[in-house]
């Protein structure tokens, strides 16, 4: 059976970052782009350059520093957007401009206030302009799945004639069901006379939980590019999850004539990095990357897996970067044992990096008897955050008095830029509230706490806690993360981490 390649277009940094509450700074975006390149995605949609100075700068930096994938910038079908995208993408060795315009009657009437003829002319003009900057041009008729078929075919034909090399079919609001979406791709192949000059792409949203199913239906009927995001991040209910569509094709490769170039052994670590930096925890029962994806609690299931793994495991965990180990790690484990386990998890570090990781490992190992893989991944996430963000406030001491009376917090913070010590004590409605009142009292630039989440990294009384906060300062969101076996310490660290980002930007 001859297999056909499916191109993976990753939109985590563009559509994924549009998820409500997701907010990444330029350095974090660059770190994610490098991880996506290591994952071996074909195209990275790095952002929407015209939308803000920050997005323009991030796209330009990714275009300058990330090699391997095609670097893509999004642009509406107008001159300013396309010129901005072209300028941001200039440093990239391989670049693509992705331009779009709404094509459904509802978008034309209520969003664009435009006739079909005007839409057609605008699309052709946009593609032609984009083509003057790069040979690689992608065109999307937004809300294609709810568009009039006859007009859609005319629009796609004109876009290809104008120079589009990829035609993307978005199910923008996640309204389609697989049978309908399959028919749409089939009809496009039949009725767009020059479709053989372009690759058909699909971009499906998950409003009805069908993003992966619709994307797969598109592949089966002629699409050869899938637009997706790590962990399914994206607007509203999110996008097609990269890890799911890739592993469908990988796991069923004997029955399907398709393949991708994704390095699947990097899926887990990429998922973890993006979850950490975006502040979006991965649900435990999430397919492929969830904590429970390869866990078996039922006695019947455990018995079956012990006798023969394939009784209840259709994916070898090693394929996505999880490797079973008989080497337990604890407080007496040395650097060599740590390095071996990290390599088993597909992480490779030099001697100096292992030294740094080992310091954090020992801090946790002194509080926990057994260090599990999720603990290690969390430690690495903490290291990544420290490496890519300037640390300004360091938590030196924290004392809490709580109970049925008045919760009181006393805190000591070191301001690293001038090495000053700040101290305060406050009463709160609870210990976390008291801590945050102390911090607000000490630091002049603070934001409104919009979200506070805490979850355990592993099970057990000695589990590490990950705390994620979002604060709003002047209508901009800053994410903060804290990790510790003590929830209150993790809460203080998370708030200070968010303020690090805010303060550094100011």
Contact 464, 483 (CB under 8 A): yes
Pick the CATH number of 390-505 from 2.60.40.10, 3.30.160.270, 3.30.70.360, 3.40.50.300: 3.30.160.270
C-alpha to C-alpha distance for 293 and 148, rounded to whole angstroms: 41
C-alpha to C-alpha distance for 149 and 368, rounded to whole angstroms: 61
- For the chain, the C-alpha Rg in angstroms (whole number) is 25
Cβ-based burial of 46 (10 A; exposed 0-12, middle 13-18, buried ≥19): buried
Which band of pLDDT confidence, cut at 50, 70 and 90, is reported for residue 342?
Answer: confident
pLDDT score recorded for residue 412: 96
Which band of pLDDT confidence, cut at 50, 70 and 90, is reported for residue 77?
Answer: very high
Which band of pLDDT confidence, cut at 50, 70 and 90, is reported for residue 386?
Answer: low
- 367-390 mean pLDDT: 74
When mean pLDDT is compared across 195-209, 313-327, 470-484, the lowest value belongs to: 313-327
Q: For residue 275, give Cα distances in angstroms to 268, 425, 445, 482.
A: 10, 33, 26, 13
pLDDT score recorded for residue 391: 85
Mean of pLDDT over the chain: 90
C-alpha to C-alpha distance for 78 and 130, rounded to whole angstroms: 10
- 47-58 mean pLDDT: 95
Pair of tokens at residue 32:
């994610």
Is 431's pLDDT higher than 90?
A: yes
Which band of pLDDT confidence, cut at 50, 70 and 90, is reported for residue 505?
Answer: confident
C-alpha to C-alpha distance for 315 and 267, rounded to whole angstroms: 13
- 434-447 mean pLDDT: 89
Is 145's pLDDT higher than 50?
A: yes
pLDDT score recorded for residue 302: 40
Is 304's pLDDT higher than 60?
A: no
Is 321's pLDDT higher than 90?
A: no
Percentage of the residues of the chain whose pLDDT score is greater than 70:
93
Higher per-residue pLDDT: 14 or 376: 14
Is 297's pLDDT higher than 70?
A: no
% helix, strand, coil for the chain, step of 5? 45, 20, 35
Which band of pLDDT confidence, cut at 50, 70 and 90, is reported for residue 327?
Answer: low
pLDDT score recorded for residue 110: 96
pLDDT score recorded for residue 19: 81
Higher per-residue pLDDT: 268 or 309: 268
Which band of pLDDT confidence, cut at 50, 70 and 90, is reported for residue 309?
Answer: low
- 189-208 mean pLDDT: 98
C-alpha to C-alpha distance for 292 and 301, rounded to whole angstroms: 13
Higher per-residue pLDDT: 451 or 368: 451
Is 423's pLDDT higher than 90?
A: yes
Is 306's pLDDT higher than 60?
A: no
- Please, which residues have CB within 8 angstroms of residue 486's CB and are 6 or more apart in sequence? 465
Which band of pLDDT confidence, cut at 50, 70 and 90, is reported for residue 307?
Answer: low
- 141-148 mean pLDDT: 97
When mean pLDDT is compared across 133-142, 245-254, 382-391, the lowest value belongs to: 382-391
pLDDT score recorded for residue 305: 43
Report the CATH architecture of 4-278.
Alpha-Beta Barrel (3.20)
- 194-207 mean pLDDT: 98
| Terminal CA-CA length for the chain | 58
Is 385's pLDDT higher than 90?
A: no
Cβ-based burial of 114 (10 A; exposed 0-12, middle 13-18, buried ≥19): middle
C-alpha to C-alpha distance for 139 and 168, rounded to whole angstroms: 6
pLDDT score recorded for residue 313: 75
Residue 259: which H helix or E strand, with range? strand 258-259
Number of C-beta neighbours around residue 20 at 10 A: 8
**pTM to 2 decimal places:** 0.84
In this structure, the strands spanning 70-76 and 43-47 are parallel
- 433-457 mean pLDDT: 88
Which band of pLDDT confidence, cut at 50, 70 and 90, is reported for residue 310?
Answer: low
Q: For residue 280, give Cα distances in angstroms to 34, 140, 239, 263.
A: 19, 28, 14, 23
Give residue-wise pLDDT tens across range 223-245: 999 999 999 999 999 999 999 99
pLDDT score recorded for residue 301: 43
Is 308's pLDDT higher than 60?
A: no
- 35-59 mean pLDDT: 96
């Amino acid at each position: 059976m001859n297999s056909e390649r499916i191109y993976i277009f990753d939109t985590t940094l563009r559509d994924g970052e549009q998820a409500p509450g997701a907010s990444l700074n330029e350095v974090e975006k660059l770190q994610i782009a490098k991880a996506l390149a290591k994952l071996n995605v074909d195209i990275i949609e790095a952002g929407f350059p015209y939308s803000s100075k920050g997005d323009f700068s991030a796209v330009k930096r990714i275009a300058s520093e990330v090699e391997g994938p095609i670097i893509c910038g999004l642009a509406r079908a107008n001159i300013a957007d396309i010129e901005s995208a072209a300028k941001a993408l200039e440093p990239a060795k391989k670049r693509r401009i992705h331009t779009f315009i709404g094509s459904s009657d509802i978008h034309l009437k209520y969003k664009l206030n435009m006739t079909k003829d005007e839409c057609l002319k605008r699309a052709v003009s946009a593609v032609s302009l984009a083509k003057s900057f790069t040979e690689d041009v992608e065109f999307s008729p937004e809300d294609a799945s709810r568009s009039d078929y006859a007009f859609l075919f005319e629009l796609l034909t004109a876009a290809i004639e104008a120079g589009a090399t990829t035609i993307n079919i978005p199910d923008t609001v996640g309204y389609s069901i697989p049978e309908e979406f399959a028919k749409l791709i089939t009809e496009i192949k039949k009725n767009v006379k020059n479709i053989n000059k372009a690759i058909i792409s699909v971009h499906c949203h998950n409003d009805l939980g069908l993003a992966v199913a619709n994307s797969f239906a598109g592949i089966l009927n002629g699409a050869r590019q899938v637009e997706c995001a790590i962990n399914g991040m994206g607007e509203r209910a999110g996008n097609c999850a990269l890890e799911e569509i890739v592993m469908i094709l990988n796991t069923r490769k004997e029955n399907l004539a398709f393949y991708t170039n994704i390095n699947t052994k990097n899926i887990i670590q990429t998922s973890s990095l993006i979850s950490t930096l975006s502040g979006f925890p991965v649900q435990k029962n999430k397919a492929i990357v969830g904590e429970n994806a390869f866990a078996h609690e039922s006695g019947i299931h455990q018995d079956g897996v012990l006798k023969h793994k394939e009784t209840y495991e259709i994916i070898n965990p090693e394929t996505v970067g999880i490797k079973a180990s008989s080497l337990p790690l604890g407080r007496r484990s040395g650097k060599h044992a740590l390095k071996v386990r990290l390599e088993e998890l597909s992480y490779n570090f030099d001697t100096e990096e292992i030294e740094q990781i080992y310091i954090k490992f020992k801090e946790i190992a002194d509080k926990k008897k057994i260090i599990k893989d999720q603990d290690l991944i969390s430690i690495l996430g903490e290291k990544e955050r420290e490496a890519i963000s300037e640390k300004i406030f360091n938590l030196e001491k924290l004392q809490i008095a709580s109970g049925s009376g008045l919760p009181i917090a006393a805190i000591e913070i070191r301001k690293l830029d001038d090495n000053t010590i700040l101290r305060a004590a406050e009463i709160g409605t609870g210990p976390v509230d008291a801590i945050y009142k102390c911090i607000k009292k000490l630091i002049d630039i603070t934001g409104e706490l919009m979200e506070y989440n805490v979850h355990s990294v592993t099970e057990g009384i000695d589990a590490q806690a990950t705390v994620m906060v979002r604060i709003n300062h002047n209508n901009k969101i800053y994410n903060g993360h804290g990790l510790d076996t003590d929830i209150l310490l993790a809460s203080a660290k998370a708030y200070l981490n968010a303020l690090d980002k805010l303060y550094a930007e100011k």
